Structure formats: structure tokens, C-alpha cells
Amino acid sequence: MIRRFAAAYGVDMSEAARGLGDFSSFNDFFTRELKPGVRPLADADSFILSPADGAVSQLGTITQGRIFQAKGREFTAAELLGDGAEAAQRFEGGSFITIYLSPKDYHRVHMPAAGVLQSTAYIPGDLFSVNAQTADGVDRLFARNERLACLFGGPVGAFASVMVGAMIVAGIDTVWPHRSSGHGRELVREDFTPDGRQFAAGDEMGRFYLGSTVVLLFEPGRVAWIDGLRAGDPVRMGQAIGQRLKDGQ
């Protein structure tokens, strides 16, 4: 099955640390690690890094609490964060970017900037596909699917990395211990303050088992997306996707 999947989706195994015959299970293959050095990191003192391989679904500004999904469709930051109205208020007027990971992509998720883990919310939900066609056709897609919203604080201020599950997803996992097992029915919030785990930009924070999307939220005055970056553009983990703004300027 692994060989057929790799061939059908055009998985680039030249970047993988192990060969096709070296995986113990399909999930082991799907969450494969990369060879050292194949994803060089941009200068994290100047830039926000892409958290994953994939393609930009949308990017822009959070306006009146709303995040653009596709023409005629949007959802709120509070919904995305699990009705976290207080947390969502911090991001009003800030920046968002949504990155879609296709089946062929590397499926580990990394830190876009240095930060300290403050809290998480596991939000149960649907498992719609998250590809471009579904994003165009399903209202509030990313605020309806199962997801894990992770809040951090760091030199770029508060930011959120929201891992959104999708059709056939077997799990959303993190590098830290957590209480949510996935496919649950109850919202699970966890507080990691005052001694939250510290991460450097580019550190691995989690992984997906099958299809997925990552949504990043930043406070206002912290990030300016790279000129020319548009919906549909491919990105690789570690590349510069945003310019860090110093002192909110």
C-alpha cells in the first residue's frame, strides 16, 4: 500500500530519511521524517517561517473577527479557536494564513516563530476534505472540522497555530503530552502556563496522519506577508512567508 500510495501521489522519496521498505506501518510512512538539511530555515529574526510543506489556501487580515476562506465564504477566529472569544480578540486586525497539505506532502508541522506554549483546545468536528474545491463549496470549513488550536507567546507576540483535520485523518498529534485522543465528542482545553514548553522557530510541534491544513494567526502590527505571496502558491517548511515587523511597526 505504501508503494502504491507513493507512486499514485508522486511522493518525493529522495528527501525522506528512510526508504520505502523501511517503514513499520502506513502511518509511520505518512509521518516520515526528512533528511537533515533538505529544509533550510530562513532567518527567524527577520521572517515568519512556513510551518509546513503545502500550498497557500488564503492569507490576509482578520477583519471584524472574520477570516476569509474563499469567495463568498468566511469564518470567525473565535469559531476556529473553539469559541475562544477572548483569545480571538487579541488577533483582531492581525494577520492570518491558511496552508493546505496535500497527500504527497511532508506531514510534520513546525513552529513559524519562536514561542512558549500557553494553551491548547481540541475541538471535535466534521472531517470534510480540505482541498481547494471543498474550501470553495463548504461554509466555515476550517471552523467545522476537527482541529487542535495551539496558542503561543513569543518575541512576535501572541500567535496561534491551528491544526485542522480532514477526511480519513487518523489523528492529529503533538510533540508534547496531551489529553485529547482525537475523534472525541467533547471540547478539551489544556493550560500549559506558567511553565509552558519553549520552542525555537522551525522546531517540530506536531504531525498529521493523512489530509490536513494549518491556519496561523498573528496579532496586529507583527507580520507583513511576503510581497507576491498569493493563494495557490506552493510553500515549503522553513521558507520565509512573512516579514517580522519590529516593535509593531
Catalytic residue among 50, 57, 161, 212: 212
Q: Is the dihedral of CA 231, 120, 247, 198 positive or negative?
A: negative
Q: What is the chain's Cα-based Rg?
A: 17
DSSP E strands in 29-94: the ranges are 47-49, 54-61, 66-70, 73-76
53 flagged as catalytic: yes
Catalytic residue among 50, 57, 110, 180: 110
203 flagged as catalytic: no
Are the C-beta atoms of 33 and 71 separated by less than 8 Å? no
126 flagged as catalytic: no
Type of residue at 139: D
- How far apart CA 66 and CA 122 sit, in angstroms, is 21
Identify any residues that bridge with 223 across adjacent strands, giving them in sequence order.
244
Residue with cell 469564518: 75
Are the C-beta atoms of 242 and 226 separated by less than 8 Å? yes
Catalytic residue among 53, 57, 119, 178: 53
Q: Which three cell numbers stand for residue 66?
A: 472574520
Of the candidates 39, 17, 15, the one whose C-alpha atom is nearest the C-alpha of residue 202 is 39
Active site residues: 53, 110, 212
